[in-house]
Amino acid sequence: MKTNIPAKLVFLMCIVVILSGCSAEYYFNKAEESKKNNDNLNAVKMYGKVVSRFSKTELAATSQLTIANIYFYKLKDYKSAIDEYEKFIGISKDEYKNSEAMFKIARIYLSYIADYQKAIEEFKKYIENYPMNKMAPDAHMHIADIYYNKLDDKGNAFREYELFLQNYPDNPATRRAKYMLAEIMFSNKDYSGAKRYYQSIIYDYKKDEYNRNAIKRLDSINKLTVKPVKKQVVMKNDKPNTQKAVKNPVKGQSKPGAKQPVKNAVTQKKSTSQPSAQKK
């Protein structure tokens, strides 16, 4: 038994099939239009349809990243932005964009949410996943700075600055790492260690703020470490010893304050007079 299908119904079915074949682009374009008109919530909704319905396409990853950026830059919803960046990393095959998203997550924890322990955790994760990336030294310096400036943990800060010098000896930021190591040593009164780093900054790098500060610190160290010269204090009641030293008649040494022995007058006269002539 044959079933007659109205021509209009067939036409509508064809339209549905055609639209379903390009619906990812359709929703994406709608999302782009909404974003352009600053209709950010509708844009998120349209991008979300691309992600949920066409997750295997390149547009899905692009849409997911755009959702994260809208939450971060437009809506200022930082926790939602972190969630969306993490979703992007989960579906994206672009390692460069993945590294940027991971670094951005760490920066959000540091600068916008002020969860410093979580920021350290995310920066360490970034270094583990992208140790050769050009942003890896920045991530390491952020870790050290968080310990020093935000958590007041000089011990861990010192360790991270030292690791920075070991891992990135040719990085321009080594000067700053040396200066921070010197500052920690100076605050701990390890003046010899601090002096070594300050001198390295002065002699190995061009003149700048770190150089000028290092010179000032060296001057302070020199003032703190120079031993004062002791001055002899004379009391008012003390009288200077004016007696002449005389020789010890036994040992031939001088004794201060000893009285000069008086020789026999006769003996003294004989010793000084001329011998008399014999009588004829």
Residue 160, Cβ neighbours under 10 Å: how many? Answer: 22
- pLDDT tens, position by position, 116-156: 999 999 999 999 999 999 999 999 999 999 999 999 999 99
Identify whether the C-beta of residue 164 lies closer than 8 Å to the C-beta of residue 179: no
pLDDT at position 25 over 70: yes
The span from the CA of 174 to the CA of 144, in Å, is 12
The DSSP secondary-structure symbol of 273 reads S
The span from the CA of 258 to the CA of 77, in Å, is 97
- pLDDT tens, position by position, 214-245: 999 999 999 998 876 666 655 555 555 555 55
Whole-angstrom CA distances from 177 to 30, 138, 167, 214 are 49, 12, 12, 13
Mean pLDDT of 92-106: 97
pLDDT at position 14 over 50: no
pLDDT of residue 267: 46
CATH of 21-93, one of 1.25.40.10, 1.10.3720.10, 3.40.630.30, 3.90.1150.10: 1.25.40.10
pLDDT interval class at 47 (50, 70, 90): very high
18: three-class secondary structure by DSSP = helix
- Maximum alpha-carbon separation in the chain: 195
pLDDT at position 265 over 90: no
Mean pLDDT of 40-47: 97
Residue found by looking up tokens 């924890």 in the block:
109
Closest CA to 46 of 64, 31, 66: 31
The span from the CA of 156 to the CA of 144, in Å, is 7
Closest CA to 43 of 72, 70, 25: 70
DSSP string, the chain: ---PPPHHHHHHHHHHHHHHHTHHHHHHHHHHHHHHTT-HHHHHHHHHHHHHH-TTSHHHHHHHHHHHHIIIIIS--HHHHHHHHHHHHHH---HHHHHHHHHHHHHHIIIII--HHHHHHHHHHHHHH-TTSTTHHHHHHHHHHIIIIIS--HHHHHHHHHHHHHH-TTSTTHHHHHHHHHHHHHHTT-HHHHHHHHHHHHHHS-SSHHHHHHHHHHHHHHHHHSPPPPPPPPPTT-----PPPEE-TTT--EETTPPPPPPPHHHHHHHHSPPPPPP-
Residue 225, Cβ neighbours under 10 Å: how many? Answer: 10
In DSSP terms, which residues pair with 254 in a beta bridge?
247
Mean pLDDT of 201-216: 89
The overall average pLDDT reported for the chain is 84
Mean pLDDT of 34-44: 97
Identify whether the C-beta of residue 130 lies closer than 8 Å to the C-beta of residue 122: no
Structure tokens at 167: 């891992």
